[in-house]
Amino acid sequence: MDLPVTRLEAVDFQSDGAAEQFVQSLRETGFGVLKNHPLSQQAVQSIYDNWLGFFGGDQKHQFAFNAEAQDGFFAANVAETAKGSDKRDIKEYYHYYPWGQCPSHLKTELQAYYDTTLAFSATLLEWIERYTPADVAKRYREPLPNMISGSDQSLLRVLHYPPMQGDEEPGAIRAAAHEDINLITILPASNEPGLQVKGKDGQWLDVPCDFGNLIINIGDMLQEASGGYFPSTTHRVINPEGMDHNRSRVSLPLFIHPRPEVVLSERHSAHSYLMERLRELGVI
């Protein structure tokens, strides 16, 4: 009998057994945490600082989201409502694609981070494939790193969870329990805690938020492609309490998406699966 995981441990990216330990964590919890990885903490901190300024100003309204392309600024009153929830999340965010709109003074830095992290994702997908059992790996219609080769669908989201004002809708939280739709999500530790993952026993676990950690989670598309071997685990962002309630939280997930035509399973291509989820979220 497997004992429930009570905490997530960070895996040292530089260690000899990193790949196997990382993939084992993904298998058990849907999440993996890396430390001593190659992504720049300084670059992440600069993005956090610069985008906090963007969210605090009026320029953001000049970049209102494009409903068809799904790029640009999403204000709090159009933020997502998680599947199965009737409360809108307490957040605002910006969707960045290399081909989409972006304030010129923020684009160079954001694009550099996008490129570096997207390239790094291929390494992680190679690790996942390497430690996928043969009977599961035969389900993959093509090698996992190949699924993202040439894709322009990977989405970098800059999230701002504003300070709590006390007038929030009862029961609403910063991000209600949900799963991600994509293959994997790569997330630098936020400037504030709050991210939790749901364990197999139904208990919520705090995700280590030490600055410099890199958090990776499985999305629905990889769960689909692996026949459920890798779980797309439910996670959420809870509201701060006490003195932390008046602090902003910034987050920078990169959602790694395959090319639209990639076949995930008998029933879904990447495109058909994405459209299904966007309809469920009410954004199309």
**256 sits in which H/E element:** strand 254-256
Distance from C-alpha of 116 to C-alpha of 220, rounded to nearest angstrom: 23
pLDDT band at 1 (very low <50, low <70, confident <90, very high): very low
The architecture that CATH gives domain 29-177+216-250+258-281 is Sandwich (2.60)
Is 60 exceeded by the pLDDT of residue 25? yes
Domain boundaries along the sequence of the chain: 29-177+216-250+258-281
The tens digit of pLDDT for each residue in 86-139 reads 788 889 999 999 999 999 999 999 999 999 999 999 999 999 999 999 999 999
Q: Dump pLDDT digits (tens) for 154-167.
A: 999 999 988 777 77
Mean per-residue pLDDT for 17-28? 97
**Interatomic CA distance for residues 149 and 258, integer angstroms:** 8
For the chain, the straight-line distance linking the first and the last C-alpha, in angstroms and rounded, comes to: 43
Burial 263-276 (b: 16+ CB within 10 A, else e): bbeeebbbbebbee
pLDDT, tens only, 231-245:
998 989 887 776 566
| Percent of the chain with pLDDT strictly greater than 70 | 94
Spatial CB neighbours of 94, under 8 Å, sequence gap ≥ 6? 51, 54, 60, 63, 72, 73, 74, 157, 158
- For residue 244, the model assigns a pLDDT of 63
β-strand partners of 205:
197
Which alpha helices (DSSP H) does the chain contain, by range?
A: 18-29, 41-55, 104-130, 134-137, 144-148, 220-225, 270-281
Closest CA to 186 of 113, 239, 259, 264: 113
Instruction: Indicate the pTM of the whole model.
Output: 0.93
